[in-house]
């Protein structure tokens, strides 16, 4: 053993042994935290992996295969016109309206294809933060001024964070732009409308499969919720037709791939997730077994699988740690909720900073942050810290940070997280002073 080279492994072994040796598993707090961690992972696997992440992996894989690098560089590259690049990034992210974890495969896809760090960061923040349904729910439950502040803050944040990320790493971005200018762009013979229809179909499946139940049992949003699985099935049918039309997969193979999902829908209509599961399995097998695996269908499956095996384990580990420390919404982990409530009262700098940092670490599923904040406000949370949490929480989480680090490195991740927390804190201070 050489202490000069082996001191780090030795330190980790000693620390891990001490943690195991002195772990207070007999205390109720630790036992509850373990239960909360496992419960959160179970809930995440049931509610988000299949309906959110799997479609996102397929979309990210499709971006890597069907979107030519020249198109990404033209609209989102480091050399693109700023107004166009940041406008496209913010609009594309807001249309998806996904959570902080579901946006990650899509972010990884465009970033790998050559998107500039600034526009990619805008897309990364805009997806979870600029959620039209969440903003409407915020205005209804927490008041119109909170809803407006959240909407304005999220849109402004998305662009400013992207611009600052580009500014801080402008040397790397300049080198990327120079390399892109020298690279040859591959042209495709497929018309643009076919590619657009293909991606619109995939996004439609992602959005409507995860359409949340509104509070009011009437109106347009409720009607869409009632018909969500019919609409999702319609998009799935269009996808099946596109597989035959665009990628020349034999009709008999498509029928065999969709038959289990159809039978599940007929036998168990009250469990649409079962049919969705068989549909995902059928699509995976269909793409994997398609003739000429070196062509687009096989490449699509390979890219999607590559995103899944790199991102999903980190997300599950992050959710487990977040559940252990903070618990599920409405429950407690190792950190007592009374501590959190006592630290976010008033409108001090510390209260806003703590609320932003707490929101950045905790995992919020789409739309769940509003009822959680309603309870915190009734318990004494200040309005400024509430806005700070709204602007930082949906866009970040501990699982989200772990994956971002694996995509763009420690330094860029640290700067991105710092920018989100800092701007959320300042916004909370200003809002708390005004209201």
Q: Is residue 24 part of a domain?
A: no
Burial of 113 (0-12, 13-18, 19+ CB in 10 A): buried
Task: Provide φ and ψ at 382, rounded to 5°.
Answer: -75, 155
Compute the distance between CA of residue 347 and CA of residue 430 in angstroms, rounded to an integer: 9
Compute the distance between CA of residue 149 and CA of residue 31 in angstroms, rounded to an integer: 40
Asked if 126 contacts 158 with a C-beta cutoff of 8 angstroms, the reply is yes
CB atoms closer than 10 angstroms to residue 57? 27
> Tokens 């933060």 sit at which residue?
129
The pair of three-digit structure tokens given for residue 284, joined into one six-digit string: 């995976």
The pair of three-digit structure tokens given for residue 167, joined into one six-digit string: 């500014």
The pair of three-digit structure tokens given for residue 54, joined into one six-digit string: 């799997």
**E strand intervals along 169-313:** none
CB-side neighbour CA atoms (13 Å) of 58:
24
Q: Is residue 12 part of a domain?
A: no
List of the chain residues with pLDDT < 70: 1-4, 93-98, 177-189, 290-294, 329-330, 365-367
Q: Is residue 319 part of a domain?
A: yes
Compute the distance between CA of residue 246 and CA of residue 244 in angstroms, rounded to an integer: 6
- In sequence order, which ranges of 51-113 are alpha helices (DSSP H)? 54-66, 69-76, 82-96, 103-112
Asked if 276 contacts 50 with a C-beta cutoff of 8 angstroms, the reply is yes
The candidate with the shortest Cα–Cα distance to 195, out of 246, 238, 120, is: 246
Asked if 103 contacts 96 with a C-beta cutoff of 8 angstroms, the reply is yes
Q: Is residue 410 part of a domain?
A: yes
Q: Is residue 18 part of a domain?
A: no
Asked if 73 contacts 79 with a C-beta cutoff of 8 angstroms, the reply is yes
pLDDT at 311: 87
Q: Is residue 127 part of a domain?
A: yes
The candidate with the shortest Cα–Cα distance to 93, out of 57, 132, 123, is: 123
pLDDT at 193: 84
Q: Is residue 31 part of a domain?
A: no
Q: Which domain holds residue 427?
A: 43-178+194-249+290-434
Q: Is residue 17 part of a domain?
A: no
pLDDT at 297: 82
Q: Is the entire prediction scored with pTM above 0.85?
A: no
Compute the distance between CA of residue 71 and CA of residue 73 in angstroms, rounded to an integer: 5
- Report how many domains make up the chain: 1
**Largest pairwise CA distance in the chain:** 71
DSSP 6-28: HHHHHHHHHHHHHHHHH--TTSH
Give the tens place of pLDDT for each residue, 173-221: 777 766 665 555 555 557 778 888 999 999 899 888 888 777 777 778 7
């Amino acid at each position: 053993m050489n202490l000069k080279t082996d001191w780090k492994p030795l330190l980790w072994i000693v620390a891990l042994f001490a943690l195991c040796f002195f772990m207070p598993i007999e205390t109720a707090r630790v036992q509850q935290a373990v239960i909360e961690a496992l419960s959160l992972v179970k809930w995440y696997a049931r509610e988000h992996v299949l309906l959110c992440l799997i479609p996102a992996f397929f979309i990210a894989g499709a971006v890597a295969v069907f979107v030519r690098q020249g198109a990404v560089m033209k609209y989102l590259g480091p050399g693109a016109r700023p107004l166009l690049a940041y406008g496209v990034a913010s609009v594309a992210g807001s249309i998806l309206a996904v959570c902080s974890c579901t946006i990650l495969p899509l972010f990884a896809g465009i970033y790998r294809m050559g998107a500039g760090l600034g526009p990619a960061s805008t897309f990364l923040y805009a997806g979870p933060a600029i959620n039209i349904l969440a903003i409407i729910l915020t205005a209804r439950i927490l008041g119109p001024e909170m809803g407006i502040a959240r909407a304005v803050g999220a849109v402004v944040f998305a662009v400013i964070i992207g611009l600052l990320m580009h500014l801080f790493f402008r040397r790397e971005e300049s080198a990327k732009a120079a390399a892109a200018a020298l690279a040859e762009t591959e042209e495709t013979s497929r018309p643009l409308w076919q590619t657009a229809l293909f991606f619109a179909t995939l996004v439609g499946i992602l959005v409507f499969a995860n359409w949340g139940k509104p509070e009011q049992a009437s109106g347009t949003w409720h009607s869409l919720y009632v018909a969500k699985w019919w609409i999702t099935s319609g998009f799935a049918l269009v996808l099946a037709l596109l597989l035959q039309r665009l990628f020349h997969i034999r009709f008999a193979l498509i029928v065999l791939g969709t038959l289990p999902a159809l039978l599940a829908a007929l036998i168990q209509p009250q469990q649409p997730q079962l049919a969705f599961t068989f549909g995902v399995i059928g699509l995976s097998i269909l793409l994997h077994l398609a003739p000429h695996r070196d062509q687009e269908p096989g490449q699509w499956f390979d890219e999607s699988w590559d995103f899944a095996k790199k991102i999903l384990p980190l997300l599950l580990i992050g959710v487990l740690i977040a559940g252990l420390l903070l618990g599920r919404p409405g429950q407690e982990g190792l950190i007592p909720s009374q501590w959190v409530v006592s630290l976010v009262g008033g409108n001090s700098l510390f209260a806003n900073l703590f609320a932003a940092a707490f929101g950045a670490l905790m995992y919020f599923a789409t739309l769940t942050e509003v009822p959680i904040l309603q309870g915190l406000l009734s318990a004494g949370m200040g309005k400024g810290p509430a806005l700070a949490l709204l602007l930082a929480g949906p866009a970040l989480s501990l699982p989200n940070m772990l994956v971002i680090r694996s995509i763009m490195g420690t330094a860029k991740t640290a700067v991105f997280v710092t920018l989100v927390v800092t701007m959320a804190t300042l916004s909370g201070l200003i809002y708390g002073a005004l209201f």
